[in-house]
Structure 1
């Protein structure tokens, strides 16, 4: 097993010092190979050492301007610091350089969501949802974005899909309650708000919505 693979294993086991040692040795042995810098950058991002991580990803890009995962890593550095426009640029570079994985499309979509450009977010979240049908977070955010774009029936399908993956998803029930209100089904809405509160008694939005519906029904 090479040092990069060992380093990734150590990182997954949260043995960050050992991972750093292995990545450093790998870079020393292959200083012109971008992959060592990318892995070290990922490790530094995990450790919230964003300035150092940025330097490592930029070094990887200097060595190979088409290193898609370096752009993706750099995007994560900016995203974690809430620099969404800068993150967006890097994720777009990653996609242009051939990275077609759920995570990059999801992160790109979320940069638009955070800037309230939900129309622009939708195609990226759709692509992420297609690539990762079993990923609860991706499916939920896609459903939420559909709702924000007024695609209520599609949003309902997506939220029901989330519940198939995770029955106890309080936010999916809350959003299905909101969908029911759009369809003027107050009783159906109440069922979903109650279910959301059974799963999470501190779900403030569900509690507020439930009180309003009960008041209207009275």
Structure 2
């Protein structure tokens, strides 16, 4: 096991100081090996030093422009810095370099989501859930993006999928309630808001939604 592999194991074990020491030694011994810089960038990102991390990822890419994991790591660091256009460009580069994985599409979709570009977000998140159908967060944000672009029926299906995967997802039940209310299905909306409140009793938005649906249903009953 070389020092890079030892460092990765140390990171996984939470021994970050040991990992940093090993990576420093690895870079000193092999200054033209991009792997050490990538691992050090990942370590820096893990401890919140995202600006410094981008320097290491850029160094790795300058040594070997085919390092897709360096582009992905750079994208993550930039995302954490809320530099979403730059982050999206890094994720696109990772895809171009062959890192065609669900996590990359998810993060690319989230870059667009954070910029309120819900149409592009939904396209990337759709690819993410196609590639990893058990990703709760991807399904949830896919549903939100669909709702924002008024694809309500598809949003309902996405939130139902979230709830299949995680029945205790209060925010998904709330958004499902909103979608049902948008479809004028007050009974289903009320049920969804109540499910949300059963999970999280202080969910103020669900409480408000329940109040509104109670009023609608009581109004219908009095006619």
Q: Same fold (TM over 0.5)?
A: yes
Where 2:14 maps in the other structure, the secondary structure is coil
State how far apart, in whole Å, the 2-side matches of 1:174 and 1:94 are: 35
State how far apart, in whole Å, the 1-side matches of 2:200 and 2:97 are: 42
Unmatched tracts of structure 1, length 5 or more: none
Report the counterpart of residue 124 of structure 1 in structure 2. 124
Aligned: 1:4 with 2:16: no
Report the counterpart of residue 133 of structure 2 in structure 1. 133
TM-score by length of 1: 0.95
Give the 5 Å matches for 1:40-119.
Answer: 40-119=40-119
Post-superposition Cα deviations, 1:150-193, rounded to whole Å, max 9, x if no partner, equal 22222222211111111111112112111211221111111110
Deviates more, 1:95-104 or 1:188-197: 95-104
Post-superposition Cα deviations, 1:57-94, rounded to whole Å, max 9, x if no partner, equal 11101101121111111111111111111111111111
Post-superposition Cα deviations, 1:115-146, rounded to whole Å, max 9, x if no partner, equal 11101111111111112111211121112212
Where 2:74 maps in the other structure, the secondary structure is helix
State how far apart, in whole Å, the 2-side matches of 1:216 and 1:153 are: 21
Q: For the aligned residues, what is the CA RMSD? A: 1.3
| Alpha carbons 2:51, 2:81 under 8 Å: kept | no
Report the counterpart of residue 197 of structure 1 in structure 2. 197
Unmatched tracts of structure 2, length 5 or more: 219-223
Report the counterpart of residue 173 of structure 2 in structure 1. 173
Equivalenced residues, count? 218
Report the counterpart of residue 157 of structure 2 in structure 1. 157
Task: For residue 217 of structure 1, report the CA deviation from its aligned partner.
Answer: 2.5
TM-score by length of 2: 0.93
Task: For residue 13 of structure 1, report the CA deviation from its aligned partner.
Answer: 2.1
Give the 5 Å matches for 1:204-215.
Answer: 204-215=204-215
Deviates more, 1:185-194 or 1:156-165: 156-165
Task: For residue 50 of structure 1, report the CA deviation from its aligned partner.
Answer: 2.1
